[in-house]
Structure formats: C-alpha cells, structure tokens
Amino acid sequence: MTARLDGRTAIVTGAARGIGRAVARRFAREGAAVYAVDVVEDELAKESEALRADGHQVTACPANVADAEAVDTLVRAVATEAGAVDVLANVAGIIFRRSVDETSVDAWDRLLAVNLRGPFLLCRAVAPHMKRTRRGAIINVSSRAATIGSAGEAAYCASKFGIEGLSRAVARDLEPFGVAVNSITPGVPTRTAMSEVTYDEASRRVWKDPDVITPAFVHLATQTATGIHDQYIDAWRLSERLRSQGWT
C-alpha cells in the first residue's frame, strides 16, 4: 500500500462483511482513519480490532443506516472527533428474491430503508461538513440491477435505480463545493453473503473476492468534482486499469 488516503477520514457502511469490509480494510491500509459502520456488532468489532492490532486507525460504529437519528449522531461524532468527513462509502445493502406479487409491504420497506433511505441519510448528514471544507468524495454502491430489471428483484432493482437518481442529484448539489459524487457497480461476480444467496452456478464458478475491486474505491475516494465525478463506475474495469498502471 502507498498511503493514498493518508490524512483522510472515511465512513464506510456495511463494513462487517463483504464489499464493505474489503473497502474498510483497503481504506485503512491506505492510511485513512476509518469509521466502520454496521449492525452486525460482533463481526464489526472483531474486524476493527484486527485492523487496529495491525496499526491502522479504525473505529467500530455499530449503527442502523436507516435510523435518521443514529446517522446524524454518528456523523456529528465523526466530524467532531476527526475535524472533517472526507470520504463516504455507502456500501451497506440487503437483497431478497421474490416476485412482485409475493413481496410484502414490510419486506419492500425494509429493503428500501437499508438500500436507499440509508444512503440518502448519510449523504444528507455529511453534506454540510463537506461543503464547509469544500472537499470530499461520496461513493454509492450501485449494481447492474440499477440499469436492467431482473425477475424476483422488484424491490432490489427499485432501490438501485433509486441510488442512481440519488447519486446524480447529489452530484449536482455538491459540485459547486468541489465534492466528487459517484455510483459504482462491482462489474464482476463478487463473493459476498448476498451473492451466496442470489448467484447462480455459472456466476459462482467465476466470482472473485471483493478485495479485487477495492482499488476503484480508493481512486474514487481521492477525486474532486473536477476529476471523476457524477459517473456510474465499473469497479472491476477501473481496478484492472489501475493494476495495469502499477497498483497493487
């Protein structure tokens, strides 16, 4: 690692497992002070302790991203302690597969609460701090499901189409303040707790560890509104390009 994020403060949601965990690890190893957020408290604590034991700056922040009060409290605490919020990676997400007529209102509301309300709340909470410092980067995890519909994924597709709309609008809101806002799709089958439930056999044969797409997150975390901004990024393609330039 080359300390590409040295001196930056980053909030990463969904940090106990999967892509969120991989991103939190990579950010910490690149020098960021990471505030790792998840509802899975035991796994979050274990991961954070392991990173701190390796000399990295990681704080476990158990919180429900769909809880407005909890999110506001979290962001205020980070901004007070660190002095700024430089990077927000909205990674937390859930999925279920049911046809639209079998999707209950409660299930719909729960998925949209985590996948779309959560990123909105985090973007809303960090925006004043990024506007104040006139810098920052927001990375919202999207999906191929944000561009095409899939049977059995009415709620999930709706949440990811929503992430695209949210990202484009927030990008316009924060562009005058120098803040980069992008959405990102893994771009390659990635092994996570979610994909273990939803991927078919063909995808399982070629899936990759989430670590392989983390260079893209690091690169986006360093951007400003005059760099990569207001884009839908393929994490695999960008990570491969970075590796071709010597990234490890």
Alpha helices in 96-213 (DSSP H): 105-112, 118-133, 154-174, 193-198, 201-206
> Would you list the DSSP string of 220-242?
HHT--TTSS-S-EEEHHHHHHHH
Tokens read off for 12: 């990463």
**Residue reference for tokens 């950010």:** 27
- Which one is catalytic: 35, 156, 199, 232? 156
Q: Are 28 and 58 in contact (CB under 8 A)?
A: yes
The closest alpha carbon to 35, from 65, 75, 93, belongs to 75
Question: Does residue 232 have an active-site annotation?
Answer: no
Q: Residue 231: left (phi > 0), alpha (psi -120 to 50), or beta? A: beta
Give the Cα separation of 203 and 87 in Å (integer).
31
Q: Dihedrals φ, ψ of 48, to 5°?
A: -65, -40
Active site residues: 156
